[in-house]
Structure 1
Amino acid sequence: MLDRARAILRHEAAALEALSNRIDQSICKLANHILTSPGVVVVCGIGKSRLVGKKISATLASTGTRSITLDPVDALHGDLGRVRPGDLILALSNSGETAEIMQLICAARQLSVIVALITGRASSPLAQAADVILDIGPIEEACALGLAPTTSTTAMLAVGDALALLAQERRGFSRHDFARLHPAGSLGRGLLTVREVMWPLDSIPMLRPNTPLSIALLSICGAPRRTGVAAIVGDSGRVTGLLTGQAISRLVESAAAPDLSDPVERHMLHPTTWIPGHASLNEAVQLFHRYGIDLIPVYDEQESFIGLIFRQDVLRPT
């Protein structure tokens, strides 16, 4: 069985190698259409091709190209309303004879769209109806029966990846753009900087060390954005301490309630470390783990205090 599994992988790898030699300028033409089109890329297919199309559409969207998927059957029953003039339809059909896609193309032609096709038959009816053809050629499936879509869908997916990345690179899509589109993913968050995630000064009460505890409590509770913390700033402009609402609550609930006229410097926590605003979130994660703290002051290149970064905004609970 292991030998068969390895043979299947070699079969598909060989097909992709052959495809890399077969692909022509049509893929560059289609990438240019994507870059200049005012609309979205509408990806459609039937069966396994539909599933491959969903992944291609997702890759396009995550690399800067607006894209949606459209089921051809649903399109013929009202969802064609999702398509607008200026859109680009990218259809997937190995045989090039999928009737539902042909009907969809005929209907969409009334909307002034560009039609592209990924297919294994460049002379098929669908290919004749398309503006741009990405021909993967006749491909022998890895299935022992030669029936289950395997190698052909792998080839379609690889062509979709190549198309999405060509558009990404020509567009100048940057690491920052990637992070912006992946704010909740570990890859994207790792590309964000501390400055982009921190709480800025306008959301943090800033107090002097001699501020009475009562005023500090009112400042924390009355802040427009409830961070639950105040920064204690000394004469140098640097953070000398941090006062959290939780710490005040513990003081109030303790047996020896504090004198609310006490200066905050008697009850503040001294910051363990700090981080520059241009540092990556990965660096902040390392500091949170190393010191076991919940807050880190952030400074700019001139070592001026510019905000706070919270553990809860960087680390997900485990």
Structure 2
Amino acid sequence: MTTALETARAVLTSESAALAQLASELTEDFTDVIDRLIQVPGRVIVSGMGKSGHIAAKIAATMASTGTPAQFVHPGEASHGDLGMITRNDACILISNSGETKELADIIGHTRRFDIPLIAITKNADSTLAQQADHLLLLSNAPEACAIGMAPTTSTTMTLALGDALAVALMETRGFNQADFRTFHPGGTLGAQLLTVRAVMHKGAALPVVTPETDMGDTLLEMSAKGFGVVAVTEGGKLTGVITDGDLRRNLQGLLDRTAGGVATGSPRTISADILLVDALGIMNENRISALFAVDADGQLEGLVHIHDALRVGVA
């Protein structure tokens, strides 16, 4: 009797082989689809019935989050009024393993009636869907991974992967970058990972700042008042040094008789305010420090980011 682990490995092996086959069989039709979709002034409408519908919804969501406006339309709802969601400015991707899913008929007819680009994803090149489509993305003729060879498994995996390929190719063609991605993912872990230092840093009156001539009594008051355990030493707005708790310990003897410039560590480690917060956190961890000052290209002090800021927004 086959064990559950053996079954799992067989399914994964079967599906990975199908994906490799699909990759090798992909033709220039894929490029034609990208060229067509990149020119669409409206949205990419993705639809399918049953398991194909679930995959269609995921494809639409992936496209929408990577710079290609997209929307899932349920074929059943389309037949009862939601066809109005599909306009002449849109393009349709319809998914059906057999290519004969009757629930897609009204969407097919709508695209033909209003000259809306139609892309078919199916395994059957001779099907109604394939014959009606302007572009055909043919799935490989690979068996389903289930024991009876009927449950949508391998076919839906191939369709999902093909949808990812479309989304990523469109993303790269558009030049969609990290900053664009952050715009569409402001919340959750992804949003936190894509925050820049500028988005969370302390600036203006919140910054602990003294000049080289400031006596250490006033410097200690500034450090205590701002609460970061560090103070910036600036001349003309440029960061020339920093004083940390460690600097204070190393200069305890006669500390209050000295000035900030005589205690500060020169040439401090700094960052750009436009780097990712997660990268700033990496620098802090690597150097075992709890705060970093951000400066512009001319060395002008712009802000301060503390390790607690990373914790607060969920990066650390």
> What TM bracket, shorter-length normalisation?
0.7 to 0.9
Cα 1:167–1:283, aligned 2, differ >3 Å: closer, same or farther? closer
Contact 1:27 1:134 in 2 (8 A): yes
Cα 1:295–1:79, aligned 2, differ >3 Å: closer, same or farther? farther
CA distance in 1 between partners of 2:207 and 2:142 (Å) = 65
- Secondary structure of the equivalent of 1:84? coil
CA distance in 1 between partners of 2:70 and 2:54 (Å) = 15
CA distance in 2 between partners of 1:43 and 1:231 (Å) = 50
Which of 126, 131, 148 is equivalent to 2:129?
A: 126
Deviations 1:253-290 (A, max 9, x none): xxxxxxxxxx9788444643965314321134457879
Amino acid at match of 1:143: C
1:77 maps to 80
1:144 maps to 147
Which of 207, 231, 234 is equivalent to 2:207?
A: 231
Deviations 1:107-129 (A, max 9, x none): 24344311111001011011111
1:61-100 paired onto structure 2 within 5 Å:
61-100=64-103
2:301 maps to 305
1:173 maps to 176
Higher mean C-alpha displacement, 165-174 vs 26-35:
165-174
Amino acid at match of 1:41: V
Amino acid at match of 2:139: I
Which of 270, 278, 285 is equivalent to 1:282?
A: 278
Higher mean C-alpha displacement, 273-282 vs 133-142:
273-282
Compute the displacement of 1:62 (Å).
2.2
TM-score, normalised with respect to structure 1: 0.73
Compute the displacement of 1:99 (Å).
1.2
Compute the displacement of 1:81 (Å).
2.1
Cα 1:270–1:65, aligned 2, differ >3 Å: closer, same or farther? closer
1:179-258 paired onto structure 2 within 5 Å:
179-187=182-190, 189-198=192-201, 201=204, 230-235=206-211
Contact 1:15 1:155 in 2 (8 A): yes
1:264-283 paired onto structure 2 within 5 Å:
267-269=225-227, 271-272=229-230, 275-283=271-279
Contact 2:198 2:274 in 1 (8 A): yes
1:95-110 paired onto structure 2 within 5 Å:
95-110=98-113
Coordinate RMSD, CA, aligned: 3.4
Compute the displacement of 1:134 (Å).
0.5
1:315 maps to 313
Amino acid at match of 1:234: V
Number of residue pairs matched by the alignment? 270
Cα 1:11–1:269, aligned 2, differ >3 Å: closer, same or farther? closer
Cα 1:297–1:314, aligned 2, differ >3 Å: closer, same or farther? farther
TM-score, normalised with respect to structure 2: 0.73
Amino acid at match of 2:58: K
Cα 1:131–1:200, aligned 2, differ >3 Å: closer, same or farther? farther
Cα 1:312–1:265, aligned 2, differ >3 Å: closer, same or farther? closer
Compute the displacement of 1:63 (Å).
2.0
Amino acid at match of 2:107: L
Contact 1:285 1:315 in 2 (8 A): no
Amino acid at match of 1:298: A
Cα 1:313–1:113, aligned 2, differ >3 Å: closer, same or farther? farther
Compute the displacement of 1:180 (Å).
2.8
Higher mean C-alpha displacement, 270-279 vs 131-140:
270-279
CA distance in 1 between partners of 2:106 and 2:27 (Å) = 28
CA distance in 2 between partners of 1:317 and 1:163 (Å) = 30
1:24 maps to 27
Deviations 1:89-119 (A, max 9, x none): 1110001011111111212434431111100
Contact 2:192 2:315 in 1 (8 A): no
Which of 42, 45, 50 is equivalent to 1:42?
A: 45
Amino acid at match of 1:130: A
CA distance in 2 between partners of 1:133 and 1:71 (Å) = 21
CA distance in 2 between partners of 1:163 and 1:182 (Å) = 20
Higher mean C-alpha displacement, 52-61 vs 268-277:
268-277
Cα 1:110–1:235, aligned 2, differ >3 Å: closer, same or farther? farther
CA distance in 2 between partners of 1:265 and 1:285 (Å) = 22
- Secondary structure of the equivalent of 1:16? helix
Cα 1:93–1:270, aligned 2, differ >3 Å: closer, same or farther? closer
CA distance in 2 between partners of 1:53 and 1:270 (Å) = 50
Structure 2, unpaired ranges of 5+: 231-268
CA distance in 1 between partners of 2:194 and 2:314 (Å) = 17
